[in-house]
Chain A
């Protein structure tokens, strides 16, 4: 017990306030204020054990350390007088693996979890092999194929591609890795041809015999400069071939799209390829792989938040098809709320059509200048400006939450349109031309939900179109009119209210005939 010291952490150095440290000298002890470890004893449940008591005598000058070796007696009647079981009070030392006990140790400790009683784990790990057990894919389960798993090559440790990475169900992944092509001729390396990625068929449910073939969805050919063209008629398999020192039809990227039902069954799988050309002497190429999952009968719509909007994701908007009552699946046509995008050239008409989606939380302002000459008529000019500001299809409704579905009508907020006209004092003539000069979209959003995890919810969208009178342009001259559009996000969150649970009430109800026969 005198040799044990819990606070002696630094080797060959004195630990501060550690009275049992053998590396400390008497000078060090005189600088201590307290002893961090006052007593070192054996197991306190023993009836009598040795104890080393360390204390600092601050009365002496300089303070010195006092060590006492005493016997501590446990007064309880249930103290351990003697223990004939050696491992009772100590942690067992693990066995050192040797060639004899390695197999037994591997069997006992080789699995991901083990307990003191290894037999109980084996019983739980066995799946009940019932005949009516229906298997289905669960989130994260590897997608099984006829021989092994659906491969999604990805970089492991280094950037070289490893084909042993299985694709997991419902886990969308995108990976990029480098493939070595210097080993053989490029048309004999299997990982460069389309067949490698489509020849295995996926099992529809785990451990079944129902197969789903991987079809070729599309083939895009990438030229050496980087431009990509989509091939029409993508039924033919294009295998790598050597042509003039170039190896063409080499797989540069694969994008799997797996369609599944909501019960965990895979119904279809399609792969979109990007093929390119590499030089014959190339040592390595970079391949990119992607896998996405879509449920049957739904369009993959990227959500802008779940459920609240995430800052930086586009604000979802749409139209309501005419017809009353609402047909199911209304407010489809997932267009986006877009605003004018400022381009390099300041002329509005030159950059017509350049629009950028409105991202939640990002206030933006953009503008351009319109060149107006005397010959331009008022009405077409106003219409052109309106097109420039609002775009081709300005939506009518904005989604309240990032994951609002089309069929939930109440989750969509209508866009309110306001028209403001700037009238200057000098301009009284009613015939003057009013042209829209600025579009300001104000999006009011609030924090919704619990205080710990508030979600952003759009409550109001107002599009204010400001019109100004066009001053008469002298003939032969041109005037530049600045046109501006902006998006502002305002937080209109109400202060949070605490919500307390109701006090529990005691529900006592006497039976009706308790006082029979008096009542």
Chain B
């Protein structure tokens, strides 16, 4: 049988990432709702934050799907596209870490973990592309 080139750690990480991101999305949305009640959060500042969160969700779903598909079919193109989308995700995560209207300590923790995951994923993806 041909040696298996798909990276198992990458697949595991992608799976964990998807679960983590689902809870991250729910938690960030709940915290935005909390912030709008507890602090003064005018509409001009609330709209961009919510829009970027939704955009990040879309990008994440697409990225994880492409990454998983590329890894399992051992094709480089989807993996490369997923890597490019990771850059966008990193920028969005940095926004939620530093530039959103109110950054709570919980936000810092969640986004730091997410960035860590992205970093690990990128390394594994590069290794997988090199292997294919």
Interface on A for B, CB 8 Å cutoff? 45, 47, 76-85, 87-88
Identify the closest chain B residue to A74 (Cβ).
B105
Q: Can you list 30 A-B contacts (CB < 8 A)? A: A47-B105, A76-B105, A77-B104, A77-B105, A77-B106, A78-B104, A78-B105, A78-B106, A79-B104, A80-B39, A80-B102, A80-B104, A81-B103, A81-B104, A81-B105, A81-B107, A82-B98, A82-B102, A83-B101, A83-B102, A84-B99, A84-B100, A84-B102, A84-B103, A85-B40, A85-B41, A85-B102, A88-B40, A88-B101, A88-B102
Would you call B90 an interface residue if the criterion is a C-beta within 8 Å of the partner chain's C-beta atoms?
Answer: no
- Give the CA-CA distance A47 to B108 in the complex, in Å: 12
Interface on B for A, CB 8 Å cutoff? 31, 34, 39-41, 45, 98-109
Known: A78-B34, A82-B98. A87 touches B40 (CB 8 A): yes
Residues of B within 8 A of A79 (CB): 104-105
Interface of chain B, main secondary structure: helix
List 10 extra interface pairs beyond A78-B104, A82-B98, CB under 8 A. A47-B105, A77-B105, A78-B105, A79-B105, A81-B104, A83-B101, A83-B102, A85-B102, A87-B40, A88-B39
Identify the closest chain A residue to B109 (Cβ).
A77
Choose among A76, A79, A83 the residue with the greatest number of B CB atoms under 10 Å from its CB: A83
Residues of B within 8 A of A81 (CB): 103-105, 107-108
Residues of A within 8 A of B100 (CB): 84
- Give the CA-CA distance A84 to B41 in the complex, in Å: 11
Asked if A83 and B103 make an inter-chain contact with CB atoms under 8 angstroms apart, the answer reads yes
Asked if B103 and A82 make an inter-chain contact with CB atoms under 8 angstroms apart, the answer reads yes
- Among B31, B101, B106, B108, which residue has its beta carbon within 8 angstroms of that of A84? B101
Residues of B within 8 A of A84 (CB): 99-103
Identify the closest chain B residue to A75 (Cβ).
B105
Closest beta carbon of chain B to A120's beta carbon, Å:
13
Identify the closest chain B residue to A116 (Cβ).
B42
- Among A76, A77, A80, which residue has its beta carbon within 8 angstroms of that of B103? A80
- Give the CA-CA distance A27 to B39 in the complex, in Å: 44
Identify the closest chain A residue to B44 (Cβ).
A85
- Give the CA-CA distance A40 to B104 in the complex, in Å: 23
Closest beta carbon of chain B to A88's beta carbon, Å:
6
- Give the CA-CA distance A79 to B34 in the complex, in Å: 12
